[in-house]
Structure 1
């Protein structure tokens, strides 16, 4: 009689060993490139979001400012505990909804970069530890995503907020140097702090949910280091996290687990950077209009109509964010009008002083959106989005963009260093000046070479 098949170890135990054993030298260069890109974009988004009311409210609620010097809010800002710094920094990076995404639209860098930077600063670790911790969290996150056949959104779960705490615990455990037993405990403990609702998608709770994921990871790692224990089946038991979250019970917790540490999800899927400070459903249309503008200018006065064609997934994202008040970052019409009138889409273009102008409103009124089911859905991480647009001029001429499957900034079409700098400069220069902004950008782009994280923004 053949020997029975071995019973697989619980996910938390396998994750714990992976996290404890992972070293920077094991990481593929492509994985390190993804972390560099994600951390640079996290920095840009952190600057953009820091003045949002939700961030100010979270800062006002903190308990450890002036009592703990572990980590910085922002870059060389107010100091507080690492958990509270991660909370604020992750929430700020997500507050304007222009942070990166991967792994079925999870906002990985807002959580993992905030966790890694705060945890490393608090423990005196260097940039290589930051990169290693980020990859540890990413690979754990990827396996959690792979285990579930259906998206969490229709069930009402905010995927970043329910999976992010577990991934953040892996990141924080790696940076804290926890052993396998301790890392397992941190990961299992974080599972009990999972939570986040689609019903609370607004400008307040949604960023806080992302921030809470990061802070939970740091707290869970600290608890584990102090001897705290969590259940081995917290993730994949029949009454564990994945079963509790699953929309239809279509789970395979063993999927991709045997390749943990050898087949790197971060190499394949990387991070998808939003080139423009606008919601993702606008980006393909923006790529299209800028391509047309590169070919020849478009006089707004001569435009008869502009038709933007998007896919059903794209429309569902826009629909989920619709509220009575005008939200500029969610407006495809404003994005296209800004590109034509200003030749750019930055912070100035989503301010009332711009979008309330008569010429801007007049052009926006000429722009319509239609949804075409025939647009073939693409595989993750593109989420089925595709866009094209047609510009009809008053003289009867028509200009049509190509059908854009992947926007510039997608991991399959990454931004150049100068394109990354363009987004970062616009975000950081008003806050810290051009010289410091460039130094910070260069250091974040070489995060694995940074030895003193506390002085990174000097």
Structure 2
């Protein structure tokens, strides 16, 4: 069965006019959230290192690096902005373990859109299609984490290639080539979580997508069967007989992945699958006014796959703290909050927090099986006081999940708090207004100019 070519034809045949107002309305907040967290991330050490490299590499003056007076090639800008968008692990998520689409795709479409002089409608459509290809491929390959693959870097290269091909207006044959090139650039290891290399996965995927489309546009060839071939993408990642490539074509655009399952917005800048436990802990702490010194133990019941990812039991850096249930619970008890201010090297090494980390354990409940959804399996936090009093809370759906979304006010508050770390409030307000009317922009270069120069 043809799979890659049919996906390519879908990308070519589907434009802004084929997308419902509901789909476009779902895409705009993703740009707002992603650019907010990218602006906040622009001060991360990893971003400074990547931007220094981009400056040394040079490149055609055609695309902007967010938050810096720096212009470079579209590929290099996609790299830099992708690292920036994922640097704080505060960007959105899709489905269950399928990665962080917007940190890859928003940098891809804005960098290439600026270089090509594309409109807001063009970049919105390309983003929607990038998410669609990403999710429809990912949903039939749901168990990459235990195999050591980071879905953001793996599926991101394919999604970014699709989005970039759409912006470059490639025909179906060359879009097929771009997908083939994207598949061969897919990469990212779970072992690198908690280091600067995790956000590099997002930036590298964005750059890979841009490079794939540019090469395909010039006649560079790749396999036409990257998804269905006997030695193609799913087989290389999961093994023979583990994936049905034909299932990738099911329900293309009906509905779009932006509608179902939808995007999950992060309330906390850390590993998303722990957010249910964080919600539960913060609720218990506030409701019962739990004092840190009164706590004997905290137990978090999570699926085995979640426990396996949270492998930093004694984190030493803010980045490692983003993948440590021990730190989440201890910091929540001491700080009564888990925001950007908590995920620092200093907080992770705070003596009071480290003392409480020793009292936090994880236990495993039954993992969800084929055909089940994680909403059937709430995570459970139990706080036991030294007095013997026990408080317990189960949470099935984290705040910010597509089925339990943040209010518009909560989303804009998050955006403003992030954006103001890198630009004056008036510029942050102007940017949010431009994003609300992104479909009316004749060229996204106007938006990128503001992102490059605001406050400077």
TM interval, shorter chain, is: 0.7 to 0.9
* Native 8 Å contact 1:16 1:183 kept in 2: yes
Deviations 1:205-228 (A, max 9, x none): 332232111111111212222233
For 1:399 and 1:249, locate their aligned partners in 2 and report how far apart those are by CA, in whole Å: 46
For 2:325 and 2:189, locate their aligned partners in 1 and report how far apart those are by CA, in whole Å: 26
For 1:312 and 1:385, locate their aligned partners in 2 and report how far apart those are by CA, in whole Å: 12
Deviations 1:48-104 (A, max 9, x none): 333333322222222677652211111464111111111111122223333222243
Local SS of the residue matching 1:430: coil
Work out whether 1:12 is the aligned partner of 2:4: yes
Question: 1:428 aligns to what?
Answer: 419
Q: 1:272 pairs with 261, 264, 267, which one?
A: 264
Work out whether 1:223 is the aligned partner of 2:233: no
Local SS of the residue matching 1:330: coil
Local SS of the residue matching 2:299: strand
Bigger mean CA offset, 37-46 vs 349-358: 349-358
Deviations 1:120-153 (A, max 9, x none): 11111122212210111122122322444x6223
Q: How many residues align?
A: 446
For 1:83 and 1:58, locate their aligned partners in 2 and report how far apart those are by CA, in whole Å: 13
Deviations 1:23-66 (A, max 9, x none): 21222344334322322232233233333333222222226776
Question: 2:245 aligns to what?
Answer: 253
Distance 1:15 1:386, change over 3 A: same
Work out whether 1:160 is the aligned partner of 2:152: yes
Distance 1:358 1:238, change over 3 A: closer
Q: 1:96 pairs with 88, 100, 124, which one?
A: 88
Question: 1:448 aligns to what?
Answer: 439
Question: 1:124 aligns to what?
Answer: 117
RMSD: 2.9
Local SS of the residue matching 1:390: strand
Q: CA shift at 1:276, angstroms?
A: 1.0
For 1:64 and 1:359, locate their aligned partners in 2 and report how far apart those are by CA, in whole Å: 43
Question: 1:135 aligns to what?
Answer: 128
Distance 1:158 1:394, change over 3 A: closer
Question: 1:411 aligns to what?
Answer: 402
Question: 1:4 aligns to what?
Answer: none
* Native 8 Å contact 1:312 1:373 kept in 2: yes
Q: What TM-score, normalized by structure 2, do the two folds share?
A: 0.87
* Native 8 Å contact 1:130 1:175 kept in 2: yes
Q: CA shift at 1:432, angstroms?
A: 0.8
Bigger mean CA offset, 345-354 vs 130-139: 345-354
* Native 8 Å contact 2:157 2:185 kept in 1: yes
Work out whether 1:212 is the aligned partner of 2:201: no
Distance 1:151 1:392, change over 3 A: closer
Bigger mean CA offset, 268-277 vs 304-313: 304-313
Question: 2:50 aligns to what?
Answer: 58
For 1:43 and 1:13, locate their aligned partners in 2 and report how far apart those are by CA, in whole Å: 32
* Native 8 Å contact 1:190 1:220 kept in 2: yes
For 1:444 and 1:76, locate their aligned partners in 2 and report how far apart those are by CA, in whole Å: 19
Q: What TM-score, normalized by structure 1, do the two folds share?
A: 0.86
Bigger mean CA offset, 120-129 vs 290-299: 290-299
Local SS of the residue matching 1:237: coil
Distance 1:278 1:147, change over 3 A: closer
Distance 1:298 1:212, change over 3 A: same
Distance 1:156 1:350, change over 3 A: closer
For 1:213 and 1:146, locate their aligned partners in 2 and report how far apart those are by CA, in whole Å: 18
Deviations 1:353-391 (A, max 9, x none): 4454454445445x4223132476697875987422233
Deviations 1:170-205 (A, max 9, x none): 101112222222322222222232333334445233
Q: CA shift at 1:399, angstroms?
A: 3.1
Q: 2:177 pairs with 180, 185, 189, which one?
A: 185
Work out whether 1:196 is the aligned partner of 2:188: yes
* Native 8 Å contact 1:314 1:384 kept in 2: no
Residues 227-242 of structure 1 aligned to structure 2 (within 5 Å): 227-242=219-234
For 1:117 and 1:369, locate their aligned partners in 2 and report how far apart those are by CA, in whole Å: 43
Bigger mean CA offset, 112-121 vs 304-313: 304-313
Structure 1: state its 5+ residue gaps: 1-7
Local SS of the residue matching 2:301: strand
Q: CA shift at 1:409, angstroms?
A: 0.9
Q: CA shift at 1:318, angstroms?
A: 0.1
* Native 8 Å contact 1:152 1:247 kept in 2: no
